[in-house]
Amino acid sequence: MKKTFLSTLLFCFAAVSTLAQRNIVDEVIWVVGDNAILLSDVEETRISAEMDNNPFARPYCEIPEQLALQQLYLHQADLDSITVSEGDIIRAVDERLNFYLQNFGSRENIEAQARKPYALLREQLKQTMRDNQRVQMVQRNLTKNIKVTPAEVREYFKNVPEDSLPFIPTQVEVQILTYQPEVSRQEVERIEERLREYARRVNDGESEFSTLARLYSQCGSARQGGDLGYNGRNQWVPEFANVAFSLNDPKKVSKIVRSEFGFHIIQFVDRKGDKVRVRHILLKPEIEESEFALGISRLDSVAADIRAGKFTFDEAVLALSDDKDTRNNHGLMVNTSEEDGSITSRFQMKDLPQDVARVVEGMQVGEVSKPFRMINEKGQEYCAIIRLKNRIPGHRAGITEDFQVLREVVLNERRERCLQNWIREKQKSTYVRINPDWRNCDFKYPGWVK
């Protein structure tokens, strides 16, 4: 029988109160395989979920089980020798910290919410992100062979009442034309001179590369001395990867590499199979405000000519846009699924870049926006205009126009069933011990208590 919310709340209160009465600062509440889950682990997860605006309804029941499931997946990740890119972890941590900064306003407020120093929070987030990404990779490996045919999708939804079909919120299709402000020759020379000096200091033995990276690099990896961990060639942009994979002497520093992220120098650390580990120092050139003003002015003129019918948005994109990802696609922005890599031109408003979403909100279909400044996922700031190509009002999914959505529903159900079966089998062969104070829960997977 399901417990009421009140009974669950009383259990949570009783569990914490009992520990307080015993004057226990921390204790082992679960053991899964060789790994212990501590009360402090539960509290850390609870606070983190609240900071992410995603609190648990029953934290002292849900969180221990979630941590136990994580241990099953991480054990499998160890067996499969699954590693993740340190660069991806750093980017994920930076995104999370930026989210906190927007929500809480300052580092001091973040520390108050997290109940720990900012530096410690960053280090703990790195481990959390690393664990999460390894878990996701295990899940993808377990479900990668699951397929679904169009006939199976149609059969699945054949007798589903219309009011039970998935509801799809309003979606939009957006075209974008971008202008990347020029970096002055003087700024390029300033950046290159600094990097040459750093390289000289390392090559002459005056300074450690990692020390200079911590002091001067403008990449999130600076805190790790510029260390990006082990990465395959396709995990970096080609300009960076070509140089990184050509290095083999850890005592020498590469030539200056220019990429879409800025200017780099690279130091070889180690190589394992088809992966290489390097450090780098990244310097980003500063663009003068006058260049942004020039970009806004030029795009304002382009938008006016489009509205006057002198040429179409599509033609303007092909001739003028600096965005290589959309230029040959009539400027159409694409939404890529993190699950299976499928691509669509339709975005829910929450999935658009924030700067674009703010502009789209008040636009009519076919309208061309005023120029605005935006920052892309690579941290680059540039100028843009957009055209709202289409707006699809919220509706119940249909088998013809929303086939991909319905296909994803069927796929996700089969993936979930596969993972559930895997977990149940793992429970049978994994040692689990739960502190008696923490057993009084309706677990999603009852096989924990044997």
Q: Is 325 helix (H, G, I), strand (E, B) or coil?
A: helix
pLDDT along the chain (450 residues), means of 10: 40 44 71 94 94 92 96 94 82 86 90 92 92 94 94 92 90 95 92 96 94 92 88 89 94 93 94 92 92 95 96 95 88 79 84 91 95 82 95 91 89 95 95 93 90
What is the DSSP-derived secondary structure letter of residue 332? B
- Domain end (from 258, 283, 308): 283
Total structural domains within the chain:
3
What CA–CA distance (Å, rounded) separates 320 from 301? 12
Domain match, 32 and 175 both: no
Nearest to 173 by CA among 16, 326, 13: 326
Domain match, 321 and 176 both: yes
Residue 177 in any domain: the answer is yes
β 275-283/227-231 pair status: antiparallel
pLDDT, position 25: 65
Domain match, 278 and 295 both: no
Tokens describing residue 299: 């795009």
pLDDT tens readout for residues 210-260 = 999 999 998 888 888 999 888 888 888 899 999 999 999 998 999 999 998
Domain match, 49 and 94 both: yes
pLDDT tens readout for residues 402-436 = 888 899 899 999 999 999 999 999 999 999 999 99
pLDDT, position 305: 96
DSSP assignment of 378-429 equals TS-EEEEEEEEEEEE--EE--TTTTHHHHHHHHHHHHHHHHHHHHHHHHHHH
CATH code where residue 258 lies: 3.10.50.40
pLDDT, position 86: 76
Tokens describing residue 391: 């707006």
Domain match, 240 and 122 both: no
pLDDT, position 340: 60
Tokens describing residue 436: 């008696």
Domain match, 231 and 295 both: no
What is the DSSP-derived secondary structure letter of residue 220? G
pLDDT, position 339: 61
Residue 399 in any domain: the answer is no
- Starting at the earlier edge strand, list the strands of the sheet with 257-259: 227-231, 275-283, 262-272, 257-259
Domain span including residue 275: 185-283
pLDDT, position 15: 45
Domain match, 370 and 443 both: no
Nearest 10 degrees: CA dihedral of 214, 220, 226, 227?
Answer: 130
Q: How many CB atoms neighbour CB 40 within 10 A?
A: 12
Specify whether the CB–CB gap between 278 and 235 falls below 8 A.
no
Q: How many CB atoms neighbour CB 49 within 10 A?
A: 16
What CA–CA distance (Å, rounded) separates 3 from 441? 8
pLDDT, position 18: 42
